[in-house]
Amino acid sequence: MSAVNKARRWYHWYSPDDSPEERKLIAKLDLLIVPYAFILYWVKYVDQTNINNAYVSGMSDELGFKGNELVQFQTIFVVGNVVGLLPFIYLFPRVPMHILVPTLDLGWGIFTLLQYRAQSYGEIMAYRFLVSLFEASYFPGVHFVLGSWYRSDEIGRRGGTFYVGLTLGTLTASLLQSAATTYLDGVHGLAGWRWLFIINAIITLPLAFVGYFLWPGTPARPNRLVMKESELALARSRLEKAGARVQSTPFSLQLLRRIFTNWRFYILVVWDILFFNTSSNTASFLLWIKSLHRYDTATMNQLAAISPALGIFFVLFINFSADLWIGRAAAITLASAINFTGLVILAIWNVPEAAKWFAISITYSAVAVSSVLYGWANVVLKDNIEERSLTLILMTAIATSTNAWIPLFTYPTVEAPRFPKGYVYSAVMVVLLVIMTQVVRILFNKDGNRTHGQDAGIIDEVEADTKSSSLPVVSDSKRVEQGVAQV
């Protein structure tokens, strides 16, 4: 780290080492990538979490649900996410992201709309599966794009700002359901919970068409409507100076062998599995409020917005701190400590009601870890674009798959709102996550980069494959112009 960078303060958006041209490029990328990623993630989570609000707002009564239907709806969504992720192991480096992301948005918007007409358990299950198929790759896809443009010291804040969409989407779903119940229940013969899905689709579908013209893609496959060749060359050059490799490697069985026999892949997968299991059930707050039997439906949905509203603060504070203040490992530990406090209170359960309000209100501190962890993974994987694509997808898919079956045992709907096994399980996962974070810190040093000499084998093999391939060897300067920049 240079002497200039050592003097950097937490409120400095740019690095003191950035040239005026770099700052102009960063500002343009921030305007093109972050707002659209944030808004679409916001809408995605409105579409994803609306099932919880609809369930407690009339769906369960109208359709005669009395058992574990809610957790089963959540499970089929997870199954769809896992299945929907797998094709993108190959597609991310090869399909223009400014085409892929809006098209997926269009798909999940259509099936979100169709949920308004559901008349049975089976029909809702089918729609939830199809929504999740189209939503599956959005989160790792955005991190793939962020990792293709931003340096190690820049990615956390952008990832954190984008991730606020999760908490804001959950909050908005609650408020939208409250409004739908109050003002639209019975309009044109439709219940308020059905109107929620219609409203969600009206918001979602236009954004897909905006994305085709606004999303910049990646330096390898850019949207030339918004990115100039000079900007692409600068983006590639600055990332190469930061240590990122700008040469793409052909996807092959040899590459897969190297990835799957390399220890860092398994470190990242286990780390992500632990993170995915540190959160309490997404419907736990709503189910607890409903169990109090003192609030009407609209008020229940308004109160459910408390936790995600606080989550906005947690996400921004933790991610900005990771980039500019305390570092990634300490930021993850701090967020985990807050989450652990709430989980312990809920695990004890026999506490004053005020303590339960506090504990459930801070549960969204768990999600603040996500963009720090994935930003760190982007840095660790910056040597090879195919490895980065495959690992980001697989770590997400494998970690997500644990949420398809573990909640059936730890957070069954019939045990709501107490969840005697669930809160204890999540608290244990928090402790293991913190331990694993320290392991990652030791292995990849405080900046998330591998220590000198680690994984030299995989890098040397990549270079050897390139030199021995039938493709012409290009100079370093040409690689900067032609290669794929990545963080």
pLDDT in tens, 120-170: 888 989 999 999 999 988 888 888 888 888 887 788 788 888 778 777 877
Residue 248: pLDDT band with limits 50, 70, 90: low
Residue 61: pLDDT band with limits 50, 70, 90: confident
Residue 378: pLDDT band with limits 50, 70, 90: confident
CATH number of the domain located at residue range(s) 17-482 in this protein: 1.20.1250.20
pLDDT of residue 244: 61
Q: Identify the residue with better confidence: 53 or 449.
A: 53
pLDDT of residue 4: 41
Domain ranges across the chain? 17-482
Q: Identify the residue with better confidence: 243 or 281.
A: 281
Cα 17 from chain centre: 30
Residue 9: pLDDT band with limits 50, 70, 90: low
pLDDT of residue 230: 92
Longest C-alpha distance within the chain, in Å?
Answer: 73
Residue 367: pLDDT band with limits 50, 70, 90: confident
Residue 469: pLDDT band with limits 50, 70, 90: very low
Picking from 33-47, 231-245, 312-326, which range would have the lowest pLDDT averaged per residue?
231-245
Q: How many helical (H) and strand (E) elements, i.e. helices and strands, does the chain have?
A: 23, 0
pLDDT of residue 2: 42
53-62 mean pLDDT:
82
pLDDT greater than 50 at residue 240: yes
Picking from 360-374, 382-396, 398-412, which range would have the lowest pLDDT averaged per residue?
382-396
Is the separation of the CB atoms in 203 and 50 below 8 Å?
no
pLDDT of residue 247: 53
pLDDT of residue 219: 87
pLDDT of residue 453: 43
Query: Percentage of the chain with pLDDT > 90?
Result: 27
Q: Identify the residue with better confidence: 254 or 391.
A: 391
pLDDT of residue 164: 82
List residues bridging with 217 in a β-sheet: 222
Cα 87 from chain centre: 18
pLDDT greater than 70 at residue 304: yes
Residue 370: pLDDT band with limits 50, 70, 90: confident
pLDDT greater than 70 at residue 478: no
Q: In 3-state terms, what secondary structure has residue 222?
A: strand
pLDDT of residue 454: 45
Highest mean pLDDT among 124-138, 171-185, 241-255: 124-138
Query: Percentage of the chain with pLDDT > 70?
Result: 86
Picking from 77-81, 220-224, 379-383, 448-452, which range would have the lowest pLDDT averaged per residue?
448-452
Q: What is the mean pLDDT of the chain?
A: 81
List residues bridging with 242 in a β-sheet: none
Q: Identify the residue with better confidence: 16 or 223.
A: 223
Q: Retrieve residue 465's tokens.
A: 């494959």
pLDDT of residue 437: 95
pLDDT greater than 70 at residue 81: yes
pLDDT greater than 60 at residue 227: yes
Highest mean pLDDT among 107-116, 304-313, 478-487: 107-116
pLDDT of residue 335: 95
Picking from 232-236, 257-261, 448-452, which range would have the lowest pLDDT averaged per residue?
448-452
Q: Retrieve residue 128's tokens.
A: 């939830």
pLDDT greater than 80 at residue 316: yes
Tokens 């993630």 -> residue: 41
Residue 359: pLDDT band with limits 50, 70, 90: very high
Report d(CA 41, CA 167) in Å as an integer. 9
pLDDT of residue 364: 86
281-306 mean pLDDT:
82
pLDDT of residue 432: 97
Q: What is the DSSP string of 366-429?
A: GGGHHHHHHHHHHHHTTT-HHHHHHHHHHHHHHHHHHHHHHHHHHS-GGGTTT-TTHHHHHHHH
Picking from 73-87, 382-396, 408-422, which range would have the lowest pLDDT averaged per residue?
382-396
Residue in 404, 392, 397, 342 with CA at minimum distance from that of residue 367: 342
pLDDT greater than 80 at residue 461: no
